[in-house]
Amino acid sequence: MTTVQKIQELEHEMGRTQKNKATAFHLGILKAKLAKLKRELIAPSKGGAGAKPGEGFDVTKSGDARVGLIGFPSVGKSTLLSKLTGTYSEVAAYEFTTLTCIPGTFKYKGCRIQLLDLPGIIEGAKDGKGRGRQVIAVARTCNLILIVLDAQKPMTHKKIIEKELEGFGIRLNQEPPNIVFKRKDKGGINITHQGPPMTHLDKKSIEGILKEYRINSADVTFRCNATADELVDVIEGNRIYCPCIYVINKIDTITIEELNLLARIPHYVPICAGKEWNFDELLEKIWSYLNMLRIYTKPRGQIPDYDAPVVLPRTKRTVEQFCLRIHKSLLEQFKSALVWGTSVKHHPQKVGKDHELNDEDVVQIIKKV
Please indicate, yes or no, whether residues 311 and 224 belong to a single structural domain of this protein: no
**What SS3 state is found at 354?**
coil
Domain boundary among 257, 272, 289: 289
Residue range of the domain that includes 199: 3-43+177-236
- Dist CA 227 CA 147 (whole Å): 26
Helix (H, G, I), strand (E, B) or coil at 106: strand
- Mind listing the pLDDT tens digit for each residue in 90-120? 544 434 444 467 888 999 998 999 998 887 6
110 in Cβ contact with 130 (< 8 Å): no
Residues 32 and 77 in one domain: no
Residue 60 resides in a domain:
no
pLDDT tens for 10-50 read 989 999 998 888 888 999 999 999 999 888 776 654 444 44
Q: Which helix (H) or strand (E) holds 161?
A: helix 154-167
Averaged pLDDT score across all residues of the chain: 87
Domain count, the chain: 3
Amino acid at 103: P
Same domain? 158 vs 282:
yes
**Confidence label for 72 from pLDDT (cuts 50, 70 and 90):** confident
For residue 183, give every residue at least 6 positions away whose Cβ sits within 8 Å of its Cβ, in sequence order, or none: 215, 217, 218
Rounded to whole angstroms, how far apart are CA atoms 274 and 3? 42
Does residue 164 sit in the same domain as residue 256?
A: yes
89 and 143 assigned to the same domain? yes
Mean pLDDT calculated for residue range 311-331: 94
Q: How many helices (H) and strands (E) does the chain have?
A: 11, 16
- In one-letter notation, the amino acid at residue 287 is W
Is position 110 within any domain?
A: yes
pTM of the model: 0.85
